[in-house]
């Protein structure tokens, strides 16, 4: 008789739940997952790769030079150290900086998705550690939806952007027309911020298609909405969304298609916004012809769409990518304004939705009252925090001033940067300028799994264990499961979990009792679970004891909740259920924002011109608009060396898509190596002809590991295809200071003598 099939040991990730054999054998997807992501094979394939960091390392110059030359970061060799020596060194550096400069000189705003578990979330572990050490400078906002995060409190009194998404069930059962600015690419639903369990996005699409829901994809890329939905594609010029929306708004006003009763009873400032749209306040009517000149959409198409929206139950959606741009607050605000003009906010299947399908689980109907096991971060005694888009400027300009949401603040003087669970060379823009700032701190410490850019450009590198090498609990928002993430293999080399690293450091610095509270990994998991369990039971959710959960490997909560329309209670009773805005209503004009006096974020939704778009003054020098979208073959820069990501490249370079007309003018063919450049820098990529792009648009996925030819030289060509070499590092506006990565004009040329990408490898090493 053959042996029964082995299912392996269950673990989980941002991209799915799976079981894997300890010997690195077969990977088995979670049985209940209807459409597992291919990304689940990535970590088992490279968990023991030669790129793994096997022990602590310190940059050679950091050990031998006094003071150490930060310009050698990225090109210096590394010296292996014992854990005791490395931890002693980290503790000394933290103590030195705190004593000499104070805790305001420590930046711990570590940014990144880290891992999916509730305990081993590296940025949270770091923040608890640094908070108990006396505090640290933190970050504000995020790169995903920073502009929406900043504007929505002023518009509807809410900042919970992840909950401003209409579920598929509401659309299928109650909707008719979905108008999507930026589309909703299915690849984004592979991954979830706290982890993914069930991949049900395609099933939602199938139900919507069967129900006859009509979809309109207003995007520079046809691929931004799946053909399964039989969508109408309206090709739009990048940055043209607000213009198109204003043209729709003008049409609704001129044709008497607005719900004036709703605008009067539920909205603040509509007359001011109306006068702007009609041109009474500035002499410029935002009619369809005006909108066509800026958006690239024909005027009659704008008018026709406005009429269809008015006679249908219409949902207006805006992708996160659209607001990730200069003045990115405006398309978010305009989407709310259009939904308000239609009078459909608060109805099922209608209104507005921000980030539809942006992450796994966002469109599911899952109870939102399930208490999640939580590792307490604690208090940060330092009040200073900097918007994520301005971290590079913070490093480069200590003492400089910046504005944010009505306030004026000073950049701290950072002497020590501690990063865990992220890749600063993925999410920050204008990497050459960022690198100049990266050279200013005296000490940079990172926890890393592999010799990626974060490790190679650090001073002290501590090897961190992966999800396969530790125990944890996946219990993400938007998921109806808790999953046991079991340790599959022993840590590779001398890797340790982030929790164990910080516990050892806390012992050296005198606060281990406060940090670990006398608990090890499994004791913390039990404690976190046991805190959540009585709350869950109190709210009517069955939740077994921890031992039964860990034995069974999962808890499944109610699979269904009757969807409630966003702002339904407010619609029904705008007085009894006021919004948390100054007026208690939806603010189409904000007196608060008006008081800030920002020309880059006026007090009502507005079109704001900018030099860096295809209609701007820079377009004569850089006539192509670069869009850097989320990758399909990895999560951000995670798993870039894994087989799936490598297979998506062309001769080791990231593909860049270009319209055939733009390619022919440059004598470029599919497979050609091209140089992509602007005044901020240049990178090499491999061209792919794609006529399903708006002319003048090029598109490349983010996440290629940063690979400059000469790491010690600012402005050195990046040869792997990292678009953030050319994206801006400015904020979307002074209001939110969100990421503006999608506001990037470039030129592309054939690169006949392009240097080959360096193979994925570790840095040079020196003897201790």
Q: What angle do CA 33, 35, 40 make, to 5 degrees?
A: 80
- The helix (run of H) or strand (run of E) holding residue 275 is helix 270-278
CA distances from 131 to 136, 261, 375, 416, 743 (A): 7, 51, 14, 15, 36
Closest CA to 331 of 360, 355, 362, 303: 355
Cβ atoms of residues 371 and 115 within 8 Å: no
> Would you list the DSSP string of 499-529?
HHHHHHHHHHHT-HHHHHTT--HHHHHHHHH
> Would you list the DSSP string of 358-414?
SSTTTTS---S-PPPP-------S---EEEGGGHHHHHH-TT-EEEETTEEEE----
Cβ atoms of residues 474 and 194 within 8 Å: yes
Q: Using the CB atoms, write b or e for 373-389: b if 16+ within 10 Å.
A: bebebeebebebbbbbb
Closest CA to 218 of 201, 241, 202: 241
CA contacts within 13 A on the Cβ side of 501? 31
Query: Is 450 marked active-site?
Result: no
What is the C-alpha separation between 465 and 94, in angstroms, rounded?
23
CA distances from 192 to 229, 478, 705 (A): 23, 9, 21
Query: Is 111 marked active-site?
Result: yes
Selecting among 113, 290, 450, 451, the annotated active-site residue is: 113
Q: What count of other Cβ atoms lies within 10 Å of the Cβ of residue 551?
A: 10
> Would you list the DSSP string of 670-719?
TT-EEEEEETTEEEEEEEEE-TTB-TTEEEEES-PPP-BSSTTSTTPPB-
Closest CA to 457 of 483, 430, 491, 431: 431
Closest CA to 636 of 185, 15, 16, 121: 15
Residues 6+ apart with CB under 8 A from 501: 87, 447, 462, 464
> Would you list the DSSP string of 51-91?
TB--S-EEEHHHHHSSS--GGGTTTS-EEE--HHHHHHHHH
What is the C-alpha separation between 91 and 570, in angstroms, rounded?
53
Selecting among 18, 107, 111, 333, the annotated active-site residue is: 111
Cβ atoms of residues 201 and 161 within 8 Å: no
Residue 637 DSSP class: T
What is the C-alpha separation between 658 and 265, in angstroms, rounded?
48
Q: Is the peptide bond before 672 cis (omega within 30 degrees of 0)?
A: no
In this structure, the chain runs to a length of 768
What is the C-alpha separation between 288 and 425, in angstroms, rounded?
41
What is the sign, positive or negative, of the torsion defined by CA atoms of 465, 470, 476, 481?
A: positive
What is the C-alpha separation between 46 and 62, in angstroms, rounded?
29
What is the C-alpha separation between 638 and 622, in angstroms, rounded?
31
What is the C-alpha separation between 380 and 127, in angstroms, rounded?
8
Q: What count of other Cβ atoms lies within 10 Å of the Cβ of residue 304?
A: 13
**Could you list the active site residues?**
111, 113
């Amino acid at each position: 008789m053959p042996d029964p099939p082995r299912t392996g040991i269950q673990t989980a990730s941002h991209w799915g739940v799976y079981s894997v054999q300890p010997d690195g054998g077969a990977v088995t997807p979670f049985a209940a997952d209807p459409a597992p992501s291919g990304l689940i094979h990535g970590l088992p394939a490279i968990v023991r790769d030669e790129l793994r960091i096997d022990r602590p390392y310190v940059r050679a110059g950091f050990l031998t030079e006094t003071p150490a030359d930060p310009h050698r970061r990225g090109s210096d060799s590394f010296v292996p150290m014992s854990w005791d020596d490395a931890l002693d060194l980290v503790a000394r550096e933290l103590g030195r900086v705190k004593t000499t400069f104070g805790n305001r000189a420590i930046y711990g705003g570590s940014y990144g998705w880290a891992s999916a578990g509730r305990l081993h979330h590296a940025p949270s572990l770091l923040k608890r550690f640094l908070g108990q050490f006396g505090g640290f400078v933190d970050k504000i906002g995020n790169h995903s939806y920073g502009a929406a995060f900043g504007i929505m409190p002023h518009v509807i009194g809410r900042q919970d952007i992840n909950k401003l998404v209409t579920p598929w069930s509401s659309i299928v059962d109650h909707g008719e027309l979905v108008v999507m600015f930026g589309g909703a690419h299915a690849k984004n639903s592979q991954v979830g911020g706290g982890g993914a369990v069930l991949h049900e996005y395609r099933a939602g699409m199938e139900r919507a298609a069967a129900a006859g829901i009509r979809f309109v994809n207003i995007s520079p890329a046809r691929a931004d909405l799946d053909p399964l939905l039989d969508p109408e594609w309206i090709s739009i010029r990048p940055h043209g969304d607000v213009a198109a929306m204003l043209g729709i708004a003008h049409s609704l006003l001129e044709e008497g298609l607005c719900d004036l009763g709703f605008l009067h009873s539920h909205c603040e400032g509509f007359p001011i916004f109306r006068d702007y749209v009609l041109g009474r306040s500035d002499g410029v009517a935002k009619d369809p012809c005006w909108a066509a000149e800026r958006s690239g959409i024909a005027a009659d198409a704008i008018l026709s769409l406005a009429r269809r929206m008015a006679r249908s139950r219409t949902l207006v959606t805006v992708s996160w990518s659209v607001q990730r741009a200069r003045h990115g607050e405006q398309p978010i605000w305009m989407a709310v304004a259009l939904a308000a003009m239609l009078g459909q906010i608060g109805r099922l299947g209608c209104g507005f939705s921000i980030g539809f399908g942006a992450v796994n689980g966002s469109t599911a109907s899952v109870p939102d009252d399930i208490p999640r096991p939580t590792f307490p971060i604690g208090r940060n005694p330092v009040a200073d925090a900097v918007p994520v888009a301005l971290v590079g400027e913070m490093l480069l300009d200590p003492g400089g001033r910046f504005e944010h949401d009505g306030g004026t603040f000073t950049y701290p003087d950072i002497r020590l940067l501690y990063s865990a669970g992220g890749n600063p060379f993925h999410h920050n823009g204008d990497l050459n300028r960022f690198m100049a700032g990266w050279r200013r701190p005296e000490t940079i410490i990172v926890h890393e799994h592999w010799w990626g850019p974060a490790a190679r450009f650090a001073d002290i590198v501590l090897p961190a264990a992966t999800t396969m090498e530790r125990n944890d609990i996946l219990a993400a928002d938007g998921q109806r499961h808790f999953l046991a993430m079991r340790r599959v293999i022993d840590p590779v080399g001398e890797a340790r979990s982030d929790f164990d690293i910080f516990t050892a450091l806390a012992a050296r610095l005198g606060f281990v009792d406060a940090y670990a509270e006398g608990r090890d990994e499994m004791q913390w998991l039990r404690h976190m679970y046991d805190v959540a369990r009585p709350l869950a039971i109190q709210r009517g959710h069955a939740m077994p004891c921890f031992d039964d959960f860990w034995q069974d490997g999962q808890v499944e909560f109610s699979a269904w909740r009757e969807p409630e329309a966003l702002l339904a209670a407010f619609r029904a009773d705008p007085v009894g259920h006021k919004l948390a805005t100054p007026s208690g209503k939806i603010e189409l004009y904000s007196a608060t924002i008006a008081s800030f006096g920002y020309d880059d974020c006026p007090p009502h939704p507005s079109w704001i011109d900018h030099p860096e778009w295809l209609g701007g003054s820079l377009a004569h020098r850089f006539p192509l608009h670069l869009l850097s979208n989320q990758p399909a073959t990895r999560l951000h820069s995670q798993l870039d060396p894994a087989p799936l990501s490598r297979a998506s490249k062309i001769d080791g370079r990231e593909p860049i898509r270009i319209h055939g007309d733009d390619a022919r003018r440059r004598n470029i063919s599919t497979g050609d190596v091209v140089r992509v450049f602007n005044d901020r820098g240049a990178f090499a990529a491999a061209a792919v002809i794609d006529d399903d792009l708006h002319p003048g648009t090029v598109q490349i996925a983010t996440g290629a590991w940063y690979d400059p030819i000469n790491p010690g030289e600012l402005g050195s060509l990046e040869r792997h295809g990292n678009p953030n070499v050319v994206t801006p590092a400015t904020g979307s506006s002074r209001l939110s200071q969100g990421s503006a990565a999608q506001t990037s004009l470039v030129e592309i040329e054939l690169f006949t003598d392009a240097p080959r990408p360096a193979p994925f490898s570790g840095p040079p090493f020196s003897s201790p």
